[in-house]
Structure 1
């Protein structure tokens, strides 16, 4: 008889198998996950419309609102990135000349070209820009599949809620799941509202800075920052690095690149670390470590779509954990809130009593 192994080893193996399954099933699970997330956002619209209009009218109106919002976001991202990619393709010769100029400058300090690795070729940037354009075309098919799931979900969400309510009369776990889903949906709507407000403000600030400094594609950088700001950490970093690289190519000086980088970082820090926490409040408080882990884990499993959906999935999972006594400690541990703040030194006397 073999001796059973430690429980943590089985858990680690199970987690690895689950991650592999999620990665392989991305073409199916990613549209479903985004559809469930979209349902949580648009269901209040459907419910209010059904209270005033027949169901066969309320559903098309809800779908139209959803389609306009998703199409607007996708078109904004496609427009900004495609304009930047076309700029690279159109200015390929200038980029190659810029590279040769800087290479000659380095050789003046005794740094040979072969010390920098493989030589830079403009066609690599052109290939990268064309790859970005192809990826943007794939977004259309992804949205189409997702919308099919959203339509079917809107038709069944009321029935599913009633079934959980009926089961909750005899099974408390079903009632807890229903409460967790409702509370999680409310949190997700608040989360997206805050992200949208901050995305708009960040996009406007970056557009204003780029226009004031004469950086090419100023409006495009603002739109790209607006879209990327929906992805915590990674999106903000890309929205900073891309204009910085273009500042190097356009102005040709490290001072311009450093100024651009520091200014954009200041904008991102002000919005992400000062304004956004005040808007979100304690209701959406999640450990920053877990937010970063959710973003990178989602990116590892599903790429950019996973980086976007990682934090909403974390918020919903923690909300469900709060509904069950056995898992409530997980939600408290990962909330980032101090359960028992230390007493103030000014409020206690020398012997620990209040003065």
Structure 2
């Protein structure tokens, strides 16, 4: 008869403390989501500004100061422009839909009749009957609250971003005081570079592949004759930063609205097949080659991160879910006690590789050069 092995009390206590700390951290993130989500988005924009600044500095004759100003203007205008396009584009879309409501009613009735006939039913309800069962005032109020929340959130993001930019000058002095020894300071800078490199690599890949998808999708929608093709193109680009759900929205929303616009079903079918083909080619052939080692994240982790951060922070959490997973893997891989977590998060079981070949110094799979001021810190 085999005897059971006793688990050391220290291990049980440590695991219990880790579990309690994780639960407490999750509760704090959810409770403080109104404060933390604008801050997280501001940090995200700050990383974008830094990447754009270095891009401009390396490819133009601008100095570091002017490159930083140009990057700041580009990112802020892009952020505010995206919000403006979404708000005004959505308003124009719904205004046009309300103007065409008289023509949409018979088309919706025809679609309902065809769907019911497909399943052997011969007494379908009309569109007006279905709309009468819906509490439109509640949904309109919900949309109004969401729009107000977007505007208020954008204002807080700009405020946080301004303070983060103003505090950058003192960060280097703080780093020196936090890590008096040069070796520890260089190691902290190296960790920061890998975290930043992972986020920037994700942004670069998503931006380039999103532009490819949008260009092909716009040509397809214009060829079919879908109304508001530019609005749908921008929506496809924005939701492309949300893993899993972004592709579903991009591939299904335009065909659904094509069902209502056109008298037949062929335009919607062409859009459905064409958009799915575009997403398949870019997502399975082009994007993996561009990602390389920058996003060595397990697909299951991407899905779980989307669900977790979406539950904690809503839409903002969905947008930031993959960058946060990349950051978590990069940080966890640096400590001996948490490397097993980074291994679970990684896609191939190797969240870090050995730079020197000695097997002593792990580093996350992100290829980022050391900044020029790293040795001066």
TM-score range, shorter chain: 0.7 to 0.9
Give the Cα–Cα distance (whole angstroms) in 2 for the partners of residues 107 and 294 of structure 1: 38
Give the Cα–Cα distance (whole angstroms) in 2 for the partners of residues 314 and 332 of structure 1: 12
Deviation per CA, 1:44-69: give whole Å up to 9, x if none. Answer: 566888x97697x7876554233112
Corresponding residue for residue 18 of structure 1: 25
SS in 2 for 1:22: helix
Corresponding residue for residue 191 of structure 2: 180
SS in 2 for 1:121: helix
**Structure 1 residue 155 corresponds to structure 2 residue 166:** yes
SS in 2 for 1:326: helix
Judge conservation of contact 2:310–2:317 (CA < 8 Å) in 1.
yes
Corresponding residue for residue 343 of structure 1: none
Task: Pick one of 31, 35, 38 that aligns with 2:42.
Answer: 35
Task: Pick one of 101, 120, 140 that aligns with 2:130.
Answer: 120
Corresponding residue for residue 231 of structure 2: 220
Corresponding residue for residue 344 of structure 1: none
Corresponding residue for residue 78 of structure 2: 69
Shift of residue 32 of structure 1? 0.7
Give the Cα–Cα distance (whole angstroms) in 2 for the partners of residues 215 and 265 of structure 1: 16
Judge conservation of contact 1:295–1:310 (CA < 8 Å) in 2.
yes
Change (3 A) 1:122 1:216: farther
Shift of residue 266 of structure 1? 1.4
Deviation per CA, 1:99-152: give whole Å up to 9, x if none. Answer: 3334455676444447x9x94217959765785566345323212211221121
Shift of residue 199 of structure 1? 1.4
CA RMSD of aligned residues (A): 3.6
**Structure 1 residue 85 corresponds to structure 2 residue 94:** yes
Change (3 A) 1:241 1:80: farther
TM-score of the superposed pair, with normalisation by structure 2: 0.75
Give the Cα–Cα distance (whole angstroms) in 1 for the partners of residues 196 and 336 of structure 2: 21
Task: Pick one of 323, 330, 352 that aligns with 2:341.
Answer: 330
The 5 A counterparts of 1:199-210 are 199-210=210-221
Change (3 A) 1:54 1:309: closer
Give the Cα–Cα distance (whole angstroms) in 1 for the partners of residues 318 and 22 of structure 2: 19
Judge conservation of contact 1:240–1:265 (CA < 8 Å) in 2.
yes
Change (3 A) 1:168 1:312: same
**Structure 1 residue 263 corresponds to structure 2 residue 274:** yes
Judge conservation of contact 1:167–1:175 (CA < 8 Å) in 2.
no
Task: Pick one of 191, 202, 213 that aligns with 1:191.
Answer: 202
Change (3 A) 1:150 1:214: same
Judge conservation of contact 2:218–2:230 (CA < 8 Å) in 1.
yes
Shift of residue 252 of structure 1? 4.4
* Structure 2 alignment gaps of length 5 or more: 1-8, 351-377
SS in 1 for 2:36: helix
Give the Cα–Cα distance (whole angstroms) in 1 for the partners of residues 64 and 14 of structure 2: 54
* Structure 1 alignment gaps of length 5 or more: 340-355
